[in-house]
Amino acid sequence: MEMRFILVFLLGLFCCSCGLTTRPEPNLPQPIFESYPLTVVLYLKPEFKNASANIDPVYGWTFEIGQASVEIVTKTLKAMFNRVITVEKITEIPQNFSAVIEPDIRAFKVEIEKLSVEIAYTFNVYDNQKQLIDTVSVSGKEKRQFFKFNLGKYLTEQAMKDAMAQLMVKFQNDPEIQTWLKARSETRTLKELKR
Amino acid sequence: MRLFLQITVFSLFFNLIACTSTHTQQEASQVQPLKSIEKVVLIGDFNVKSEFSDEKVFDCLADGILDINPKLAIIKPEEFRNQLFPYFTGSTSPHTPEEYKALLNNPLVNRRIKAMGVRYLITLIESKTGTDYNGGIVCGGSYGGGGCIGLGLWDRNTRLDAQIWNLQSGNMDGNVQTQAEGTGVMPALLLPIPLYFPATEAATCQELGEKLGNILSGKT
């Protein structure tokens, strides 16, 4: 009974000042990253773009994670590649591109008693023949030991930022993607030589 | 006169058992004193079970370091992590010498660290606070009144472990462990009266900060 009271109290503090809908507004610092000279298509599926998580059915506390994820994924890919073309339908995918990146939210977990938020994404990376190169999985987590104004929103933004950092690092170390990138750069060099 | 004597004896007794002491172990012979243009950064480690977030690590250690040497330049953790994004977030921070070296081999990271002038990164890898209750207080009551009698004692200890990473070489140049122990006292004569709370966490922070200040100033 006492534990239940504490949880309700924590929930109150967690959502205070944000009403019952939390809309994260994640920021991305200017990364140290040498961007790839490629044009990629960011395919935003409706279920990704409109994703929301209702973490407390009793109080109806909802996190609108889809729009925030669109913002931070777009910013991240723009830092990673020369050009990013965003499409919302497969039919909108243009002719000249190097890869299609299709993000998805795999999990979103809020642990009120631990004051922590975790978000996991998968990124399907396809080549220009629309063949899957690899799926990159990342997960970001943030926890705090103290209460902060609008804590749930803050933790979600930090977890998203952490996940994007992991995406940038994993992309550079993923063997499948590195093989593909190497092949791309060799093809380009050959084309440049023929010219 | 007799009451005064009793109070004095009780106070002396409680003062004897109520105290906080600190111990430190360090291995930092590789650490060179910071030059005036070099900086140090204090961060927490998200991957270990710690009660210390970045901000708390800074609040805990910065005062002790600056008490020893006010001229030492300390970079705030958020500034460091943002400047080195995506490499020092919760899931991308290095933890082993191999990981540090691999990261420092990245020319972009190396250049940024040099531009910032960061020589050492101090990370708090463990923080633990524990409490053991001893003694006993008995309380009772009836329609005529009530009260407590006894002596409540609790031992509290805090331990902090810090590692000093050299961001020029990628080596861990030193580590310092500090522990503080104290006993809290609460006598009960009709009512329980808390006389002493051992502030072990604050004592450990101050001690560790001062040790790090000494190490970074070449005063070991």
* C-alpha torsion sign, points A116, A150, A145, B45: positive
Chain B positions touching A168 (Cβ under 8 A) are: 86
d(CA B165, CA B104): 12
Q: What number is the average pLDDT over the span A123-130?
A: 93
Q: Measure A144 CA to nearest chain B CA, in Å.
A: 7
Q: What number is the average pLDDT over the span A184-193?
A: 64
Res. A18 pLDDT band, cuts 50 70 90: very low
d(CA A147, CA A13): 8
Domain spans of chain A, in order of start: 2-194
Cα angle B170, B173, B175 (rounded to 5 degrees) comes to 125
Q: What CATH class does A2-194 carry? A: alpha beta
| Closest CB from B51, B82, B85 relative to A145 | B51
User: DSSP labels for chain A?
Assistant: -HHHHHHHHHHHHHHTTSTTEE-------------EEEEEEEE--HHHHT--EEEETTTTEEE-HHHHHHHHHHHHHHHHEEEEEEESSGGG--SS-SEEEEEEEEEEEEETTTTEEEEEEEEEEEETT--EEEEEEEEEEEE-SS--TTHHHHHHHHHHHHHHHHHHHHHHH-HHHHHHHHHHHHHHHHHHHH-
The residue type of A18 is C
Model pLDDT, residue A17:
45
Model pLDDT, residue A1:
44
| Closest CB from A32, A33, A142 relative to B90 | A142
Highest mean pLDDT among A20-24, A38-42, A88-92, B150-154: A38-42
What confidence tens digit (pLDDT) does each residue in A145-158 have? 666 678 889 999 99
Asked if the model's pLDDT at residue A59 lies above 80, the reply is no
Res. A32 pLDDT band, cuts 50 70 90: very high
Res. B129 pLDDT band, cuts 50 70 90: confident
What confidence tens digit (pLDDT) does each residue in A90-119 have? 888 888 899 999 999 999 999 887 788 999
| Closest CB from A33, A139, A146 relative to B86 | A33
Which percentage of chain B shows pLDDT scores above 90?
A: 45
Model pLDDT, residue A75:
97
Model pLDDT, residue A190:
58
| A170 shares contact with chain B (CB less than 8 Å) | no
- Other Cβ atoms within 10 Å of A51 Cβ, number: 19
Q: What number is the average pLDDT over the span B182-201?
A: 86
Res. B213 pLDDT band, cuts 50 70 90: very high
Would you call A169 and B85 a contact, using CB atoms and an 8 Å cutoff? Answer: no
| A147 shares contact with chain B (CB less than 8 Å) | no
- Which chain A residue has the Cα nearest residue B112? A32
| A30 shares contact with chain B (CB less than 8 Å) | yes
Mean pLDDT of chain B: 87
Domain spans of chain B, in order of start: 21-128+158-178+199-216
Chain B positions touching A166 (Cβ under 8 A) are: 86, 89, 91-92
Asked if the model's pLDDT at residue A47 lies above 50, the reply is yes
Q: Measure A150 CA to nearest chain B CA, in Å.
A: 17
Would you call B86 and A165 a contact, using CB atoms and an 8 Å cutoff? Answer: yes
Chain B positions touching A140 (Cβ under 8 A) are: 89-91
> Could you give the ipTM of this predicted complex?
0.82
Res. B3 pLDDT band, cuts 50 70 90: low
Model pLDDT, residue A7:
58
| Closest CB from A32, A146, A166 relative to B91 | A166
Would you call B92 and A32 a contact, using CB atoms and an 8 Å cutoff? Answer: no
What confidence tens digit (pLDDT) does each residue in B138-180 have? 999 888 888 999 888 888 999 999 999 999 888 899 999 999 9
Would you call A165 and B85 a contact, using CB atoms and an 8 Å cutoff? Answer: yes
CATH number of B21-128+158-178+199-216: 3.40.50
| Closest CB from B46, B53, B112 relative to A32 | B112
